[in-house]
Amino acid sequence: MFSRDTWQEIFLSIRKNKMRTFLAGFTVTIGILIFVSLVGLTNGLQNTFNEAFGDDANNVFFLFPGRTSVPYKGYKSNRRIEFENSDLEDIEKNFENYVEYITPRIQRGGIVSYKEEYDNYTTRGVAPGHQEAEKTIMMKGRYINQEDVRHKTKYAVIGRLVEKDLFKDENAMGKFIDISGSVFKVIGVYQDDGGDNEERLIYIPYTTRQLIEKNNDKIDQIIIGFKPEIGYAGAMVFEGQLRNFMKDKKFISPDDQNGLFIRNVADQLQQTQQFSSIIAIVLSVFAFGTIIAGIIGISNIMVFVVKERTKEIGIRKALGATPKSVISTILLESVFITTLSGYAGMLIGVVIMNSIGNSLKEDYFITNPYIDFGLATTATIILIFFGALAGYIPARKAARIKPIVALRDE
Amino acid sequence: MIEIKDLHKSYKMGSNTLHVLKGINFSVKEGELVAIMGSSGSGKSTLLNILGMLDEADSGEYTLDGVPIKNLTETKAAIYRNKFLGFIFQSFNLINYKTALENVALPLYYQKMPRKERQAKALKYLEQVGLKEWSHHLPSELSGGQKQRVAIARAMVAEPKVLLADELTGALDSKTSYEVMDLIQKINDQGNTILVVTHEPDIAQMCKRIVYLKDGVIIKDEKVEQVKASAYV
């Protein structure tokens, strides 16, 4: 089967029948190319989702105060709810088993300047736990720590782009910046995968912020990181208990939907992941359909090829070709063509995927499309196998035809 | 060389059965040049196809060079065809994408002869039919007579026991026909056994024996004075 003569026969037949070869090969190449592209784009889409939602920790609740909409326990409705430092302590004390870390966030905008350079930046007053909630990555120095919070230090941790904008080529570490009239020392520079906006933030101890604002104890938001081991169900239970606890403490009616808001990232994450996996399923169906279409295409061409060669097969049989040699020549030829062109389609697809990279990210939400090499190879092998099977059936039929029938003049 | 006893063959045409060969008895000795004559529908091509193992008889005995030809598998028939028989067809039946040399070498390929040897032998036979210079031409670049000579070389190359020719001059003009018959006579003079199916009396007269077939039976079987084709060339 693998003698030099057999292959010479096959190469001759391929060389002398270029159109036929091209048609068969083209079908397979296109089939594999579309398959690789679809799977690659699906993966790219999922990459974008993972990037968008994977940047922040997902075991996190955000608590926002609102305004009451129902009178309760002698309080009128439309009362503004405020969080205070004591809320942090109470939550931590009452939900020890759930809470991994807790941090307030007091967000303010303002002019920040260093020497001649200045711009408008958002400053966040936070506790150390905030680093984990945002997955902030330190490049230089350190984050806000518990000592900073206790002593209300005037320390600031700035984003990579803040350093770049204000300090140009200078090293910001240890320098002093002016934040809305107060001077802070830069103790750290961070980066964040969440995009440019997340790298234009400045973090200071929340107690320092409160000190500047007439030494109050008000908090904008509370961010709670719960222990991952409690799982999705545990998080739901915790959310319910936390809601009841805070409503009770702030004298909000249990029926009031507006006094207090909890944003549960785990819940959101679950939804977006479902969405992205539905897209993946739809595209997988398309990719599978492409392979099926490819198989049908190659089958059609094989039937045509065998039909076209019926007379040649008759001649060969009259000259002493055994059915086995007839079948194996036709099959080897078709497997050879499908293998080469399938591989070509795979290579073209992979090259296209690689060259796309991040260029489709902004408009089409596709990041770094790729295809698993094993999957692409499997798809190619499946196509080759079915191409061979599709060729085998008519080839066997042709090999059984009596030469006299095949040779009959039209 | 060939022994046939009470050969029958019929074809089913829808609900009707067409009885084509109705008990043929006939034998051919080594070195004979036999013409099988008859009008169309007389069964002559069917007889040749059965002799060539391209088709099977319904009943009767067929012995080729002492080997009974019966209940052959496809593979066995292929091997016998390759070893015992050489075919020459009316429409040449060359493979159109192979050169003259490759066409001639094809039966040797199925004998698994090494490539070099195969080509040398094919070239020798092409030379014998006077087409050595045309060995690397495709069939489409050859005239009808040249194509038939390539086909004759191909039929000869495996050195078969019997050459079977089906209307080998049917697609040729009379001058070319005589050239081809001259070649056939020369090959026969070398001692090869040849069977020629034809409906042309002048071609039949160039053989040494004529078997007349009509409606599936042999009506006459006679030795004739051979007309030398070289006289017309």
Q: If DSSP codes are grouped into helix, strand and coil, which group holds residue B192? A: coil
pLDDT(A395) > 70: yes
Contact B110 A322 (CB under 8 A): yes
Look at A144-153, A187-196, B134-143, B223-232 and tell me which has the smallest mean pLDDT. Answer: A187-196
From residue A388, how far is each of A287, A396, B172 by CA, in Å? Answer: 21, 12, 42
Question: For testing the chain A interface, which of B47, B75, B84, B93 should be mutated: the one with the most A CBs within 10 Å?
Answer: B93
Residue pair A81/A201 in contact by the 8 Å Cβ criterion: no
pLDDT band (50, 70, 90) for residue B196: very high
Which among B120, B54, B123, B5 has a CA at the least distance from the CA of A320?
Answer: B54
More confident residue, A409 or B192: B192
Q: Which residues of A touch B81 (CB under 8 A)?
A: 317-320
pLDDT confidence of residue B103: 93
**Mean pLDDT within A74-84:** 86
Q: What is the CA radius of gyration of chain A?
A: 34
Q: Output the six-digit token pair for A9.
A: 């026969």
Rounded Cα distance, B48 and B45, in Å: 5
φ and ψ at residue A240, rounded to 5 degrees: -65, -45
Q: Which residues of A have a CB under 8 Å from any CB of B? A: 4-5, 8-9, 12-13, 16-17, 311-312, 314-325, 399-400, 402-404, 407, 409
Out of A5, A319, A400, whose CB is closest to B74? A400
Determine the residue of chain B that is closest to A310 in CA distance: B95
Distance between B231 CA and the closest CA of chain A, angstroms? 32
φ and ψ at residue A38, rounded to 5 degrees: -60, -50
Which among A300, A384, A392, A305 has a CA at the least distance from the CA of A343?
Answer: A384
Give residue-wise pLDDT tens across range A273-324: 777 778 878 888 888 888 888 888 878 877 887 888 888 888 888 888 888 8
pLDDT band (50, 70, 90) for residue B205: very high
Question: For testing the chain A interface, which of B11, B110, B117, B138 should be mutated: the one with the most A CBs within 10 Å?
Answer: B110
From residue A350, how far is each of A32, A153, A383 by CA, in Å? Answer: 10, 54, 17
By residue count, chain A amounts to 410
Q: Which residues of A touch B44 (CB under 8 A)?
A: none
Contact A320 B78 (CB under 8 A): yes
pLDDT(B30) > 60: yes
pLDDT confidence of residue A408: 66
**Stretch (H or E) spanning A65:** strand A60-65
Complex confidence, ipTM:
0.88
Q: Output the six-digit token pair for B150.
A: 């390539």
**Running DSSP on this structure, what letter comes out for residue B197?**
E
Contact A320 B82 (CB under 8 A): yes
Q: Output the six-digit token pair for A136.
A: 């902030």
Q: Which stretches within A138-230 are classed as H helix?
A: 146-151, 160-167, 206-212
A-to-B residue pairs, Cβ atoms closer than 8 angstroms: 70
Contact A312 B158 (CB under 8 A): no
Contact B83 A315 (CB under 8 A): no
Residue pair B22/B217 in contact by the 8 Å Cβ criterion: yes
Residue B178 CB contacts under 8 Å (≥ 6 apart), including other chains: B229, B232, B233
**Across chain B, where does the E strand assignment appear?**
2-13, 16-28, 33-37, 59-64, 67-68, 85-88, 162-166, 193-198, 209-214, 217-223
Average pLDDT, chain A: 84
Residue A304 CB contacts under 8 Å (≥ 6 apart), including other chains: none
Give residue-wise pLDDT tens across range B54-77: 888 889 999 998 889 888 888 888
**Mean pLDDT within B164-192:** 90
Residue B150 CB contacts under 8 Å (≥ 6 apart), including other chains: B92, B94, B100, B103, B104, B126, B129, B131, B134, B139, B142
Contact A8 B115 (CB under 8 A): yes
Out of B55, B87, B111, whose CB is closest to A402? B55
φ and ψ at residue B43, rounded to 5 degrees: 100, 10
Which among A402, A206, A410, A389 has a CA at the least distance from the CA of A295?
Answer: A389
From residue A143, how far is each of A74, A100, A128, A195, B105 by CA, in Å? Answer: 44, 18, 7, 19, 85
**Across A151-270, where does the E strand assignment appear?**
155-159, 176-179, 182-191, 201-205, 218-219, 221-226, 260-264
Distance between B152 CA and the closest CA of chain A, angstroms? 12
Which among A341, A334, A376 has a CA at the least distance from the CA of A26?
Answer: A341
From residue A137, how far is each of A55, A132, A160, A190 by CA, in Å? Answer: 11, 9, 10, 5
How much of chain B exceeds pLDDT 70, in percent? 100
Q: Output the six-digit token pair for A30.
A: 């296109």
Quote the distance between the C-alpha of residue A38 and its chain's center: 15
The B217-223 sheet, strands edge to edge: B85-88, B162-166, B193-198, B33-37, B209-214, B217-223
Distance between B77 CA and the closest CA of chain A, angstroms? 8
Distance between B128 CA and the closest CA of chain A, angstroms? 20
Determine the residue of chain A that is closest to B160 in CA distance: A319
How much of chain A exceeds pLDDT 90, in percent? 10
Q: Which residues of B touch A402 (CB under 8 A)?
A: 54-55
Distance between A390 CA and the closest CA of chain B, angstroms? 22
pLDDT confidence of residue A361: 65
Give residue-wise pLDDT tens across range A194-207: 777 788 899 999 99
Contact B97 A404 (CB under 8 A): no
Residue pair A219/A63 in contact by the 8 Å Cβ criterion: no
Out of B87, B91, B158, whose CB is closest to A409? B91
**Mean pLDDT within A353-362:** 72
Distance between A341 CA and the closest CA of chain B, angstroms? 23
Contact B75 A323 (CB under 8 A): yes
CB atoms within 10 A of CB A372: 11
Question: For testing the chain B interface, which of A319, A400, A404, A408 should be mutated: the one with the most B CBs within 10 Å?
Answer: A319
- Identity (one letter) of the amino acid at A119? D
Distance between B42 CA and the closest CA of chain A, angstroms? 17
Distance between A356 CA and the closest CA of chain B, angstroms? 43
Contact B158 A13 (CB under 8 A): no
Q: Which residues of B touch A9 (CB under 8 A)?
A: 109
Residue pair A338/A388 in contact by the 8 Å Cβ criterion: yes
Q: CA A212, A217, A222, A226: dihedral to nearest 10 degrees?
A: 110
Rounded Cα distance, B107 and A12, in Å: 17
pLDDT confidence of residue A410: 47
Q: If DSSP codes are grouped into helix, strand and coil, which group holds residue B167? A: coil
Strands A117-126 and B162-166 turn out to be: unpaired
Contact A324 B75 (CB under 8 A): yes
Rounded Cα distance, A347 and A13, in Å: 26
Residue pair A109/A123 in contact by the 8 Å Cβ criterion: yes
Distance between B229 CA and the closest CA of chain A, angstroms? 28
Q: Output the six-digit token pair for A63.
A: 């608590």
Contact B81 A317 (CB under 8 A): yes
Residue A396 CB contacts under 8 Å (≥ 6 apart), including other chains: A323, A327
pLDDT confidence of residue A409: 58
Question: For testing the chain A interface, which of B46, B55, B73, B74 should be mutated: the one with the most A CBs within 10 Å?
Answer: B74
Contact B75 A322 (CB under 8 A): yes
**Mean pLDDT within A76-95:** 88
pLDDT confidence of residue A2: 58
Q: Which residues of B have a CB under 8 Å from any CB of A? A: 49, 52, 54-55, 74-75, 78-79, 81-83, 87, 89-91, 93-95, 97-98, 102, 106-107, 109-112, 115, 154, 158
Q: If DSSP codes are grouped into helix, strand and coil, which group holds residue A377? A: helix
